[in-house]
Structure 1
Amino acid sequence: MSIEVGSKLQGKVTGITNFGAFVELGEGVTGLVHISEVADNYVKDINEHLKVGDQVEVKVINVEKDGKIGLSIRKAKDNPPPQRPNSNHRPRRQEERRKPVENFEQKMARFLKDSEDRLSTLKRSTESKRGGRGAKRG
């Protein structure tokens, strides 16, 4: 039996660890399905998805020089990965449509005003904690 990257095979789960499951592919050949390759969603406990003795379809994702075989259950499924919407064609939100376009000078003026407001508020709160200016101490 020739094991090539990309081929789909049937196997039997022979062992489960906290990092994955060992799958026997036949003729004494065993590969590892890493926990991240078990399902499309996050797998906290592999025992919720697989048991020793389960028959599974796996896809060979890599074969190391030392004979280690990397397998995937989720890539063996025929359903294509979900398509992400193209970020260039997202619909604009209501507030984005109404907002007027500001030039650099307008943005800078708004920034300076906001900055001065924040500084004055900060000074007011700091002075009240110190007792204000010119407060006489007895």
Structure 2
Amino acid sequence: MVSDLRMGHDSARQAAARIRPNSTYSNELQRASDWGQVSGRSMVSAQVGDVVTGKVVKLQDFGAFVEIDAETTGLVHISEVHRDFVDNIHAYLTEGQEVEVKVVGIKEDGRIDLSIKRAEPDWSDEPKPRPTAKVDKEFNQRLRKFMHQSDMIQGEVRKRKRST
């Protein structure tokens, strides 16, 4: 069945139509055909993990679209712009600015997820352990003493108010 396909003369969509509609191969051809129509290209130039220089072409409240080559544009979500919380992306980026980005994902539909903060050389994907406080074994004893003294002082204050 597949050998009957004339890929040189047929589009991937026409070839997929001749194969059983629910077959895995047909679905893959359909996705490849749809992706090619949406993106206007047949291959993504960057791979996951690549760090490349790109140009910010459009800013939105949710992130920035960065062109990493003449045919490829990806999205840097606002949470991937800086290590700190970013409330206003315009405070960090401007259109036309060149930035180093890391390709963090390529979705099935061809959309590319990028990150500026992960492109930094000192970035570590492993979270830093939080410093733990030393256990104060005497805390409960000091708290009991404080509460007792507080009760005593409050009792004295009440006695003075009653006597006046």
**Shorter-normalised TM range:** 0.5 to 0.7
Bigger RCO of structures 1 and 2 (CA < 8 A, at least 6 apart): 1
Answering whether residue 142 of structure 2 is matched by residue 97 of structure 1, we say no
Q: 1:54 aligns with which of 66, 80, 97?
A: 97
User: Which residue matches 2:162?
Assistant: none
Structure-2 residue corresponding to 1:23: 66
Q: CA deviation at 1:86?
A: 5.8
Aligned match of 1:2 in 42, 45, 48? 45
1:85 matched to 2:124? The reply is no
Which string of whole-angstrom CA distances, capped at 9 and with x for unpartnered residues, describes residues 72-118 of structure 1?
A: 0000011234622364xx4223xx33547xxxxxxxxxxxxxxxxxx
Whichever structure has more helix as a proportion of its residues is: 2
Aligned length: 96
TM-score by length of 1: 0.63
TM-score by length of 2: 0.53
SS of match in other structure, 2:79: helix
In 1, Cα distance between the equivalents of 2:47 and 2:120? Answer: 17
The 8 Å contact of residues 63 and 89 in structure 2, kept in 1 or not, is answered as: yes
- What's the C-alpha RMSD, in Å, of the aligned pairs? 1.9
Tell me by how many angstroms 1:33 deviates.
0.2
**Counterparts of 1:29 and 1:12, CA distance in 2:** 11
Which residue in 1 is equivalent to 2:36? none
Cα distance per residue 1:26-62 (max 9 Å; x no partner): 1221000000000011111000000001000000011
Counterpart of 1:97, as a letter, is E
| Contact 2:117–2:123 under 8 Å retained in 1 | no
Determine what percentage of the aligned residue pairs are the same residue: 40
